[in-house]
Amino acid sequence: MMSEKKKWELNLKAESSKSNVEDLTWISPEGIPIFPLYTKEDSDDLPHLGSVPGEEPFVRGTKTTMYVGRPWTIRQYAGFSTAEESNEFYKKALKAGQQGVSVAFDLATHRGYDSDHERVEGDVGKAGVAIDSVEDMKILFKNIPLDKVSVSMTMNGAVIPVLASFIVAGEEQGVSTSDLSGTIQNDILKEFMVRNTYIYPPEPSMRIVADIIEYTSKQMPKFNSISISGYHMQEAGANLVQELAFTLADGKEYVTAAIKRGMDVDSFAGRLSFFFAIGMNFFMEIAKLRAARLLWHRIMKEFNPKNEKSLMLRTHCQTSGVSLQAQDPYNNIVRTSYEAMSAVLGGTQSLHTNSFDEAIALPTSFSSRIARNTQLILQNETKVTTVIDPLAGSYYIEKLTSDLAEEAWKLILEIDELGGMTKAVASGMPKLKIEEAAAKRQASVDRGEEIIVGVNKFKPDQETIVDILDVDNIAVRDSQIRRLKQVKKSRDSKKCKAALNDLEEAASSGNGNLLDFAIKAARVRATVGEISMAMEVPFGRHKAQNRMLSGVYGAAYATDENFLNIQKSIENFVEVEGRRPRILVVKMGQDGHDRGAKVIATAFADIGFDVDVGPLFQTPAEAAQDAIDNDVHIIGISSQAAGHKTLAPKLIEALHENDASEIIVICGGVIPQQDHEFLYRKGVKAIFGPGTNIPEAAQAVLNLIQTNKSQK
C-alpha cells in the first residue's frame, strides 16, 4: 500500500516545478532538516509517545490538568530606578492582573557593589532597581504581603546578600522564612558562558549555589532554590539545541554538587526550576519545551530519586528580547504575541511577555500594560486553556520533539566527556559554540537570508518614534548614597563588623553555610556591597579571558560583491596609511551582555579591520587609556543597559584630558532616538542601533576615519 508521503511526492512532481523534496527542505540553525510534509510514518516509532499529561516522562506536561485546572502564572519581570518607584509599579501590576512579582536588579547590585562605588557611576537604577541593604528591600515590598505573593529574583553574582536581605525583609514584615514563596535564579554557570554578571571564580561560586540549595531545602519549603536559565544563552546567540543541552547540563551539574554536599536528591530536586527563552521559530519552541521535560526526566533517572516530582522539569519562560527590533517597533507586539502562544502551547508554568519598546529603552507603563494584557487575552479570550497539550500527536511536533531531544543529548554527552559543565565552561567550549552561532545568524540577517520584517525587508517609509522611560541615573544614585549613609550611621557598627568577619571566616575556612552567615549580617544592616566584599577577600573576583572568533562571519560573504568591495576599500586604506583601520570595541560599566560587542568585533575583523576588544566592566578612564595604548583610530561603545548618557561623555572627556581627542567615538546598541542629539552634542560621531547591517556600518566607520584624517 502506497504511503501518504509517497502519494504527496507524486502529486508534487505533477503540480510543482520544485519536484524534489530536497528543494523544499529547510535546514534549521540547529542543523535539523525541516521537511515540507510530515506524516504518520515520521512519528510512529517515537519512544516518548503514549504518555498522558502528569505521567512520566512528562512530555505532555507536569500536571494532569495543566491549564484546565489552573492557567500559567503571569509573572512580569520588572524593576527600575529606586525601590520606591519599583514598589509602586509592582502594586499597580498586581492590581491589574499580574500574579507574581519578578524583580530586575540594576547592574551595580548584580555585581555586588553598593551604589556609592566608583565603578558603578553609570549603572545605578538604570537596567533594574538599586538595592543596597535590607532597608531598600523592605521598601521594595512595602504593602506587598510576602506570605501571599510569590517573588522571583533574577540574581546570580550577588545572590547571597540579595537573598539574605529578602529573607530579613520578610522577617521584619512578620513573615516566617518557611512561608516565603518564589524563586532565586542562583545559576552561576551560565553567567560564565554568556551574561557575565559573575563576581567570584567558578569553584567558590559553585559552593554558593550548593549552600543556597541546602539552606532553602531545610528552611524554605515553598521556595525554588535555583532557576536554571537557558534564556540568556539564546539571547547571546545560542541555537535551540545549544540552549537545551547547556541548560540541562548546568542543571545536572547543580544536582551533582548538592548530592556531593551529602543531600538526598529528593530533598531538593522537586524545587529546582528552569527558565527558557521563546523566540520566533514557533513550532520549534513548542517542541523545545516538550523535549526539555523528556531530557530532564532522562537525566534525573540517573540519580535514582524515589519521589516522582524529582523527575519533573518545571519552567518559567520569557519571550525573546533579541527578536525585538528598534525599527518599526510596533511589530514587536505581534512578535511577542506569537512567542507567548508558543510558550503556552509548549506547556510553560509561568510566563513573562516583553514590552514592544525594550529594543529602545526600559518599558513604559503603557507598553508594560500591553505586554501584560497579551497574556490576559491569551488566558481569557483564545480558549487555549480548555484543552491540555492540544498539539500532542501532531506528526511535525512529535518528530521535532524527538529530533531536538536527540541532538541536544549528543551535546550533553560531549559535555559529560569533558568532565561536566564546570569543566566545559572552564574550557570555553560552550561560550565559543554560542558565539559562533550568533555570528552565523547575524550574517544570515545581514545578507537577507533570514527575513526580519521592518529591518531587512518591508521597511517603513519613516522612522517611528515612541515615548520612552528615561531614568535619571545621577538622581537615583544620589538618593541611594543618602540612604546608605543613613543605614551605616544608625546601625551598631561593632555588631555589623563582627558579623562580616564571621562571614569572611566561613568563606575562607569552607565551614558553615554562607547564606546563614549573610542573613545574620543583613539583620545588623551590613550592605550588599559589604557582604559581597567579605566573601571576595578569600574568594577573589573573577576576570574572564577575551577570545575572538575569526572567519565565521566572513565565510557567509565569501562571494558577495559588496562585501568584497569594502575589503578592497580597506586594502586601499592600508596602501595610503601603511596600516589597517583600527577599532577598539568596549563595554563600560557593569553591563556584561556582550553578544553585540562580540559579533561586531568578529565581523569587523573578517572585513579587514584590526580589532581590539576591551575587557568587560571598564571605567571610561580605563577604556580611554586602552585606546591610547593600542593607537586606535576609533572606539566603538557597545551599550545595552542604558548607561550611555553617563559613560560615553566621560570617555570623551578622558580622551581630551589625555590629548587624544583625535580618536573617534561611536556608539551601538540599545540607544533611543531621543538620546541621539544629546550624544552628538557630547562628541559622539555616529550611532548604530539594533538591526544595523554590519557591512554597511563597517563602510560608514571607514568613511569616518578617512574624513577625520583628511581634516587634520
Residue 228: which of 188, 195, 182, 266 has the closest Cα?
Answer: 188
Query: How many other CB atoms sit within 10 Å of the CB of residue 453?
Result: 15
d(CA 690, CA 456) in angstroms, rounded, equals: 12
Whether 557 is catalytic: no
Q: What residues have CB less than 8 Å from 502, skipping those under 6 apart?
A: 517, 520, 521
Contact at 8 Å (CB) between 18 and 24? yes
Could you write out the three-class secondary structure of 27-90? ECCCCCEECCCCCHHHHCCCCCCCCCCCCCCCCCCCCCCHHHHCCCEECCEECCECHHHHHHHH
Whether 591 is catalytic: yes
Query: How many other CB atoms sit within 10 Å of the CB of residue 187?
Result: 26
Q: How many residues make up the chain in this entry?
A: 712
Q: Which of 215, 231, 254, 553 is catalytic?
A: 231
Q: Which of 38, 67, 77, 553 is catalytic?
A: 77
d(CA 245, CA 356) in angstroms, rounded, equals: 29
Q: Which of 138, 252, 431, 593 is catalytic?
A: 593
Residue 268: which of 298, 300, 315 has the closest Cα?
Answer: 300
Peptide bond into 672 cis (omega under 30): no
Whether 650 is catalytic: no
- Partnered with residue 278 across adjacent β-strands are 319
Q: Which of 42, 116, 591, 612 is catalytic?
A: 591
Residue 408: which of 302, 294, 491 has the closest Cα?
Answer: 294
Q: In angstroms, what CA-CA distances link 337 with 104, 317, 369, 651, 686?
A: 22, 13, 13, 40, 33
d(CA 250, CA 186) in angstroms, rounded, equals: 11
Whether 593 is catalytic: yes
Q: Which of 63, 110, 190, 232 is catalytic?
A: 232
Q: In angstroms, what CA-CA distances link 247 with 33, 170, 189, 458?
A: 23, 31, 9, 36
Provide the grid cell at 570.
Answer: 580597506
d(CA 210, CA 260) in angstroms, rounded, equals: 9
Q: Which of 587, 644, 645, 650 is catalytic?
A: 587
Residue 548: which of 428, 630, 633, 663 has the closest Cα?
Answer: 428
Whether 680 is catalytic: no
Provide the grid cell at 518.
Answer: 549573610
Contact at 8 Å (CB) between 595 and 626? no
Contact at 8 Å (CB) between 573 and 702? yes
Helix (H) or strand (E) holding 669: strand 664-669
Whether 254 is catalytic: no
Backbone phi, then psi, for 267, in 5-degree steps?
A: -80, -15
d(CA 476, CA 583) in angstroms, rounded, equals: 33
Residue 453: which of 323, 320, 595, 342 has the closest Cα?
Answer: 323
Could you write out the three-class secondary structure of 14-27? HHCCCCCHHHHCEE
DSSP secondary structure, 594-659, as one string = -HHHHHHHHHHHHHT-EEEEPPTTB-HHHHHHHHHHTT-SEEEEEE-SS-HHHHHHHHHHHHHHTT
d(CA 365, CA 98) in angstroms, rounded, equals: 14
Catalytic positions, written as ranges: 77, 231-232, 587, 591, 593
